[in-house]
């Protein structure tokens, strides 16, 4: 994959995706012992960076295929990104979602006009269910990460980081990215390679789901033992992708791993210091920046806050555990 | 006051204050029955628009006066805005705060290096306490709203709204502004008069503290019966200011009034739909946009989300009452 694909995606996303801000707080700097910059992708349309990839993929389809419609598999953020892009374009979208996806994500995906097909993670064959519907209706699959136009769409966040870091006077830093299948990680890494070579991407994952970190360490694609059982539902992919891993392997620094509790603490920090709502999976990079300072290099660190689609009950729990309240 | 003063403030704030985004969500549009745009000033440095006025005022002082230091009276947001501006400039700041100010605001103001002097709203004479300190040390008072350079600083948010609305294709709309003493309201109104005359400011207040609405209706400065007793601590000023009221009277539409419960519901809506943290007083304009649609005119409405400095306990309560969670 080349930077030209990301630049083309940026052209298609101009005026459609939001340019999200790069935020900071002296309180976060103090915790981390260095300057902390937060790329607030939770402020993207649909509450996560996934709108970029969804819009990029749909807008790149030939008109006839797009009009027949698209299908996606997702526990929630990719679902919403694709559903909203399809809704704006006025084309059908079928989203195959697990029954245990967060309620907010299920409800939002339906509210964005998509047809939601529910499956049971334990007993159903997701691909068989989706494949049958796709074949019957001639729907084009939009993959959550292993698809060039999706990676290119996520990479537009990297173009923004490059420009915003330069404006902030940051030429060298590690860029921490929450990592599931690696679409955002690979896309941002490609963008930074071309536009800000002093910025190095490092993927961040929750404990027990560190397939990317282990794959980068071993040099081949490693898989997680479990596929569920973390609060960080957004980034519980079994392994890096066939397209994303070679990019990550070439461009990324070592992976970082945080605990669930650190992700919840980072949610509280984003609440009180940045006035941002993050979901656990969207908070892991900030958690690494704040609570693993010895594992990070340089005077500045950039953490991507990749999503904010969290149920109210979960958010209250994070504030109850780590907030100032009674 | 003239637009040139706001333009001069914008020059001093360039690269210092954040250009905050104008956000939207199809879910909010559906509640309101029109397009809703939210100017996210909770993402400003210190978590509220007050940093604009603080920086504007301090940067306009003669060097000698600035170096002696400044003093401000505030329950919290103005306190933080002035304290942070002083901290960055390396000059002393004394902030006189009521004992019942939200803990987060007290703690943050101290953490920003200000000397915090606490008084009891019921028994102490705030002005006497502050006046004595100011006289002894030669400190310059930075007023929360009735000061031209403060109004000009807040007005820079209006310059941004004018540009962002034009970019979004919104030429005519009501701009709802949370209103305490009227610094933000008057500043934004002046900016829009010059830059976006199709946008009309309307102040929004909590029930029982509708001094601005009543003053606009009667044509003279009216006072609130109470000075405390609302969750909307940020905007409980007794009356519009001597500088701000004539501007509001000339430029603003009728005031809007919302209940505390509506402010809490709007906090939940901003949480789930925009991924923003708002405090009750910062949510009243969004509350009016969402829950008083019949009182608003036009296809679009712009609500300023003026601040997000809320204690975790209060935020949890809003989510508990109005969120989806168990």
A268 with B326: Cβ contact below 8 A? no
Nearest in space to A266 (alpha carbons), one of A172, A178, A155, A203: A178
Shortest CB distance from A325 goes to which of B40, B271, B313?
Answer: B313
Residues on chain A touching B326 (C-beta within 8 angstroms):
313
What residues of A are in contact with residue B311 (Cβ under 8 Å)?
A: 323-325
pLDDT for B75 beyond 90: no
Token readout for A106 is 């299920």
First to last CA, chain B: 51
B315 with A275: Cβ contact below 8 A: no
Q: What residue ranges define each of the domains in chain A, with the CATH number in brackets?
A: 3-49+147-322 (3.40.50.1100), 51-141 (3.40.50.1100)
Nearest residue on chain A to B324, alpha-carbon basis: A312
- At B291-321, the pLDDT tens digits run 999 999 999 999 999 999 999 999 999 999 9
Chain A residues within 8 A of B43 when measuring between CB atoms? 21, 23, 40, 274-276
Per-residue pLDDT of chain A (326 residues; tens, 9 = 90+): 789 999 999 999 999 999 999 999 999 999 999 999 999 999 999 999 999 999 999 999 999 999 999 999 987 899 999 999 999 999 999 999 999 888 888 999 999 999 999 999 889 988 899 999 999 999 999 999 999 999 999 999 999 999 999 999 999 999 999 999 999 999 999 999 999 999 999 999 999 999 999 999 999 999 998 877 888 888 888 899 999 999 999 999 999 999 999 999 999 999 999 999 999 999 999 999 999 999 999 999 999 999 999 999 999 999 999 987 54
CA contacts within 13 A on the Cβ side of B228? 9
Does A271 sit within 8 Å of B312, measured CB to CB? Answer: yes
In A, minimum Cα distance to B316 occurs at A316
DSSP state at residue B203: E
Q: How many Å apart are CA A175 and CA A280, to the nearest integer?
A: 18
What is the spatial distance between Cα B140 and Cα A169, in angstroms, rounded to a whole number?
33
Nearest CA-CA distance, residue A216 and chain B, Å: 32
- Residue A8: name the closest of A185, A159, A141 by CA: A159
- Please give the Cα distance from B39 to B161 (Å, whole number): 7
User: For B42, which DSSP code?
Assistant: G
Chain A residues with beta carbon closer than 8 angstroms to that of B316: 316, 319-320, 323, 325
* Cα gap B145→B45, rounded to integer Å: 18
Q: Which of the pair, B105 or B298, is modelled with greater confidence?
A: B298
Are B286 and B303 spatial neighbours (Cβ–Cβ below 8 Å)?
yes
Rounded CA gap, A315 and B249, in Å? 42
Reduced to 3 DSSP states, what percent helix, strand and coil does chain A have, rounded to the nearest 5?
Answer: 50, 15, 35
> How far apart are the C-alpha atoms of B178 and B283, rounded to whole Å?
8
Nearest residue on chain A to B45, alpha-carbon basis: A25
Residue B42, pLDDT score? 98
Place of tokens 């606009």: B216
- Look at A104 and B315 and tell me if their CB atoms are within 8 Å: no
Beta-strand pair A35-40/A22-23: antiparallel
Provide residues of B within 8 Å CB-CB of chain A: 18, 20-21, 23, 26-27, 40, 42-43, 47, 84, 103-104, 107-108, 111-112, 268, 271-272, 274-278, 308, 311-316, 319-320, 323-326
pLDDT band for B35, please (50, 70, 90 cuts). Answer: very high
Which residues from B are below 8 Å from A313, CB to CB? 323-326
Min Cα–Cα distance to chain B from A215, Å: 33
CA distances from A130 to A126, A211, A214, B317 (A): 6, 25, 30, 41
Q: Give the angle subtended at the CA of B234 by the CAs of A307 and B266, to the nearest 5°.
A: 45
Residue of A nearest to B269 (CA): A312
Residue with tokens 């830093």: A173
B308 contact residues in A (CB cutoff 8 A):
275
Tell me what the mean pLDDT of segment B90-118 comes to.
92
Cα Dmax for chain B: 57
Cβ separation A324–B313 shorter than 8 A: yes
Query: How much is the pLDDT for A230?
Result: 86
Q: What percent of chain B has pLDDT over 90?
A: 88
Q: How many CA atoms lie within 13 A of B256 on its CB side?
A: 30
Q: B45 burial class (0-12, 13-18, 19+ CB within 10 angstroms)?
A: buried
Distance in Å, alpha carbon of A214 to nearest chain B alpha carbon: 32
What is the least distance, in Å, from the CA of B88 to any CA of chain A?
11
- Say how far apart CA B23 and CA B93 lie, in whole Å: 34
Contacts of B18 in chain A (CB under 8 A): 21, 23
CA distance, residue B39 to nearest chain A CA (Å): 13
Residue A263 to residues A23, A321, B176: CA-CA distances in angstroms?
Answer: 18, 12, 36
3-state helix, strand, coil in chain B (%, to 5): 50, 15, 35
Q: Tens digits of per-residue pLDDT, B175-208?
A: 999 999 999 999 999 999 999 999 999 999 999 9
**Which of the residues A44, A80, A312, A318 would you substitute to probe the B interface, choosing the one with the greatest number of B C-beta atoms within 10 Å?**
A312
DSSP sequence for B68-130: H-EEEE-SSHHHHHHHHHHHHHT--EEEEEETTS-HHHHHHHHHTT-EEEEE-TTT--HHHHH
> Three-state SS for A272?
helix
What's the confidence (pLDDT) of residue A204? 98
pLDDT digits (tens, 9 = 90+) for B218-261: 999 999 988 778 888 888 888 999 999 999 999 999 999 999 99
Looking only at the bridges linking them, the beta strands covering A93-98 and A115-119 are: parallel
Of A54, A58, A78, residue with least CA distance to A68: A58
The answer to whether residues B37 and B301 touch, using CB atoms and an 8 Å cutoff, is yes
**What spatial distance separates the first Cα and last Cα of chain A, rounded to whole Å?**
51
Q: Do B324 and A308 touch (CB under 8 A)?
A: no
At B122 the pLDDT is 85
pLDDT score for A127: 87
Residue B35 backbone zone (phi > 0: left; psi -120 to 50: alpha; other: beta)? beta
């Amino acid at each position: 994959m080349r930077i030209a694909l990301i630049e083309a995606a940026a052209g298609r996303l101009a005026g459609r995706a939001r340019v999200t801000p790069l935020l900071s707080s002296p309180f976060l700097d103090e915790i981390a012992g260095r300057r902390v910059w937060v790329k607030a992708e939770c402020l993207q349309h649909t509450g996560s960076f996934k709108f970029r990839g969804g819009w990029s993929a749909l807008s790149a389809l030939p008109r006839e295929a797009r009009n027949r419609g698209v299908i996606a598999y997702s526990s929630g953020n990719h679902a919403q990104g694709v559903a909203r892009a399809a809704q704006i374009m006025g084309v059908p979208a079928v989203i195959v979602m697990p029954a245990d996806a967060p309620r907010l994500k299920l409800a939002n995906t339906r509210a964005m006009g998509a047809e939601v097909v529910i499956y049971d993670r334990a007993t159903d064959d997701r691909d068989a269910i989706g494949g049958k519907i796709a074949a019957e209706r001639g729907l084009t699959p939009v993959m959550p990460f292993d698809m060039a136009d999706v990676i290119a769409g996520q990479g537009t966040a990297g173009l923004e980081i490059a420009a915003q870091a330069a404006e902030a006077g940051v030429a060298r830093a590690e860029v921490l990215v929450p990592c599931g299948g690696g679409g955002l990680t690979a896309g941002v890494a490609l963008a930074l390679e071309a536009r800000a070579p002093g910025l190095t991407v490092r993927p961040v994952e929750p404990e027990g789901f560190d397939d990317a970190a282990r794959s980068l360490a071993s040099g081949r694609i490693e898989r997680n033992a479990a596929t569920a059982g973390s609060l960080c539902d957004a980034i519980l992919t079994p392994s890096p992708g066939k397209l994303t891993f070679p990019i990550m392997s070439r461009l990324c620094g070592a992976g970082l791993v945080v605990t669930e509790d650190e992700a919840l603490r980072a949610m509280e920090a984003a609440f009180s210091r940045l006035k941002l709502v993050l979901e656990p999976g969207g908070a892991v990079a900030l958690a690494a920046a704040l609570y693993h300072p010895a594992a990070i290099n340089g005077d500045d660190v950039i953490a991507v806050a990749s999503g904010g689609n969290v149920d109210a009950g979960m958010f209250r729990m994070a504030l109850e555990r780590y907030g100032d309240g009674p």
